Amino acid sequence: MKQINVLLVLLLPLFASAQEQLKNSIFRKDSLVIVEANPKKGFNNAYILFVPKGLNKEKLNCLLVEPNNTGKLSDNIEDHRKSAIAQAAISSIGNNISTEIKVPLLVPVFPRLESKPLVYSHALDRDVMLEKATDLKRLDLQLVAMIADAKERLKQMDIQVEDKVFMNGFSASGTFTNRFLYLHPQLIKAAAMGGFNGELMLPLKTYKGQKFAYPLGLADFKKIAGYDFDEKTYKAISQFIYMGALDDNDAVKYDDAYNKKEQDLINIFLGSDVQSRYKNCQSIYEQEGVGAKFKTYEKVGHWTTSEINLEVIRFFLAHLSKAKP
């Protein structure tokens, strides 16, 4: 942790520079832009935009989005900001993807508040989707606005990006990604997610005679989202979904991730442990025609390996456009 703090001190003065300077140096070094909250543009939280050394502006690029996951609750927004900066610029699967395939990376600075312990914002749970507080209200729409703003900034840097984005997540970030795809499938070109406690949102309103409401399923999707679910567009998204065979990190046990009704539905109808519900969710996705490739990694728990990271990188690389802007 000390190493990250030292790097953060160095990163801020080196990379949070004026756009013109960034534009001139973008291909010679990694560049980091900290974009502050802009309610007029639709986002009430800051976000981090990372542009890797070697990015080629002659190519049509694809913006990569990775939701932030601080890993702890804190009412101090600086804790979440520092974590998001580290995630974007130093250590994350998203940073690994960005630096290897040379695409820009967006990481939001969404807070997970100690004063609201049941609002699991970093997983885009039901509580946060119903939240009315300004900073937490409709984080999905805030992220949509951040994506639009990031595209404008990249264009000002002479970096052309596709209309649709890549999205990646692991653990709570993977759960956020899984749910965001249902809410905004029209924005996503390809997505990868892993370590999500074995439980995926289902493309169904009911399962085994039970209503599955958000975030378990689609029973009340329109009430939550404000519009109908776009099934065709969602099912056409290319997804890479993976788990470690030894992963037993079970968020379903905890009230901040799922309420009692959700816990009961998951445990009774999908499985009472991570691996069994992962197999059931995989079977349901395949039966429903979701465009997802599943993979299980032996001797891996709630972490990633170089093999996993390489496969995720190859997945996104295969979806990069060959066309020029």
Contacts of 133 (CB under 8 A, 6+ apart): 116
**pTM score:** 0.92
**Would the pLDDT of 240 be above 70?**
yes
Residue 138: the pLDDT is 98
- The CATH number assigned to the domain with range 2-199+239-259+291-317 reads 3.40.50.1820
Task: Express each pLDDT in 221-232 by its tens digit.
Answer: 999 999 999 999
CA distances from 31 to 14, 23, 90, 265 (A): 8, 9, 12, 45
Lowest mean pLDDT among 7-11, 99-103, 123-127, 255-259: 7-11
H/E element, 174: helix 172-183
The DSSP H or E segment spanning 180 is: helix 172-183
φ/ψ of residue 121, rounded to 5: -60, -35
Domain boundaries, the chain: 2-199+239-259+291-317
